[in-house]
Amino acid sequence: MVCYNPDMLNFTLRQLQVFEKVASHLNYSRAAEELYLSQPAVSMQIKQLEEHIGLPLFEQMGKKIFLTEAGRELFHYSHSIAQQLAEMEAVFDEMKGLGHGKLTLSVVNTANYFTPRLLAKFCQRYPHINVMLQVANRDAVLKQLADNSTDLAIMGQPPEGLDIIAEPFLDNQVVVIAAPDHPLAGLKRVKLSRLAQETFLSRELGSGTRSAMERVFAEHQIQPRISMEMETNEAIKQAVQAGMGLGILSLHSIELELETRRLAMLNVEHFPLRRHWYVAHRSHKRLSGAALAFKEFLLAEAKSITTAR
């Protein structure tokens, strides 16, 4: 017979919430910032939780903290509990109608150049829906999808091997850019093979634009010379403007620079690469009314909003 010990489970949902944030970041300060608490308050909640459970949840090595075996077990359960509570809240919000609700949206960095326009229009229509926007690189967005920690994701290349539904809602043209005074900027047409002589500034491995670039060059048996990898489109744009090399980016990310003539778009053979932006979610996820409304909004109206000037 297993004896039930009520004292061991005498902890609060708030303590679990604090624990999950610390466990996610492995950092007390970042958890405190997200929870709008002081760091001592976070530390106290964790200490009380450890006292209730009777086991240490974290161990410190130097300046870093790590989950103990007990911490890893609790993180598994706390994550599941947090998702169920969020789903319960979404169900109640849905019962109230679309006048209320929450939407967690994850977008890759490049998509953030047009997402604010879409959200502005959506929030005008549904002013009482609370939107949490998470902007990250593709790997981080994929992890959020895999962890079921986001309702919807916007990305340029749906993942393979993950049980998701991804639907295209907007064209995404990938182009070659150069400084306005670059020798190739004055040509009416540039052979793709000519780019083998140029130096490229590229996004990191795994990013959507990097993958698109690698595919087109591999198809034509060209080995691009990548002199530098950068984690943001802004860094690439600045470096290209400075004459450090060519770049390959989504047209959505360079609209302002083209209008002000700080960058030039090259007319390269086989470019622009014609791709799509997708809205994605886990295939078995129960979408809230707010998430369904935003998905339908994207599929119906994204093109007209993003092309309007």
Give per-residue pLDDT as tens, 235-275.
999 999 999 999 999 999 999 999 999 999 999 999 999 99
**Rounded Cα–Cα distance for residues 134 and 109 (Å):** 10
Task: Give me the half-sphere count of Cα atoms (radius 13 Å) on the Cβ side of residue 135.
Answer: 10
Give the pair of three-digit tokens for residue 140.
Answer: 């981080």
Residue closest to 134 by CA, chosen among 37, 24, 283, 18: 24
- 47: three-class secondary structure by DSSP: helix
Does this model's pTM top 0.75? My answer is no
Tokens of 164: 């998701």
| Nearest Cα to Cα of residue 234 among 205, 266, 256 | 256
pLDDT in tens, 176-197: 999 999 999 989 999 999 999 9
Q: Give tens-digit pLDDT for 113-145.
A: 999 999 999 999 988 888 999 999 888 999 999
The pLDDT confidence band at residue 2, using thresholds 50, 70 and 90, is very low
Res 209: pLDDT: 85
Strand-pairing partners, residue 280, are 153, 166
Check: CB of residue 174 under 8 Å from CB of residue 250.
Answer: yes
How big is the CA angle at 277 (ends 275 and 279), to the nearest 5 degrees?
145
Whether 99 has a pLDDT exceeding 80, the answer reads no
Query: Which domains, from first to last, does the chain contain?
Result: 6-78 (1.10.10.10), 83-169+276-307 (3.40.190.10), 171-275 (3.40.190.10)
- Distance between CA atoms of 270 and 292, rounded to whole angstroms? 37
Nearest to 240 by CA among 228, 222, 255: 228
Distance separating alpha carbons of residues 222 and 217, to the nearest angstrom:
5
Nearest CA to 264 among 284, 239, 240, 244? Answer: 240
What is the residue whose two structure tokens read 């990191």? 204
Q: pLDDT tens digits, residue range 199-209?
A: 999 998 878 88
Per the model's pLDDT, the better-predicted residue between 83 and 148 turns out to be 148
Tell me which residue of 24, 168, 157 sits closest to 83, measured CA to CA.
24
In sequence order, the β-bridge partners of residue 257 are none
Q: Residue 79: helix, strand or coil by DSSP?
A: helix
Does position 90 have pLDDT exceeding 70, yes or no? no
Nearest-angstrom CA–CA distance, 158 and 150: 15
Q: Quote the mean pLDDT of the chain.
A: 88
Residue 263 confidence (pLDDT):
97
Given phi > 0 = left and psi -120 to 50 = alpha, else beta, which region is 186?
A: alpha
Least Cα distance to 173 among 31, 286, 273 occurs for 273
Q: What is the pLDDT of residue 278?
A: 95
In the prediction, which pLDDT does 284 show? 85
Q: Is 301 a residue whose pLDDT tops 50?
A: yes
pLDDT in tens, 37-75: 888 989 999 999 998 888 999 998 888 899 999 999 999
CA distance 61 to 221: 48
Which ranges constitute the DSSP H helices of the chain? 13-25, 28-35, 39-53, 69-96, 115-125, 138-146, 208-219, 233-241, 255-259, 289-307
pLDDT band at 94 (very low <50, low <70, confident <90, very high): low
CA distance linking residue 258 with residue 242, whole number of Å: 15
Share of the chain above pLDDT 70, in %: 93
pLDDT for residue 36 is more than 50: yes
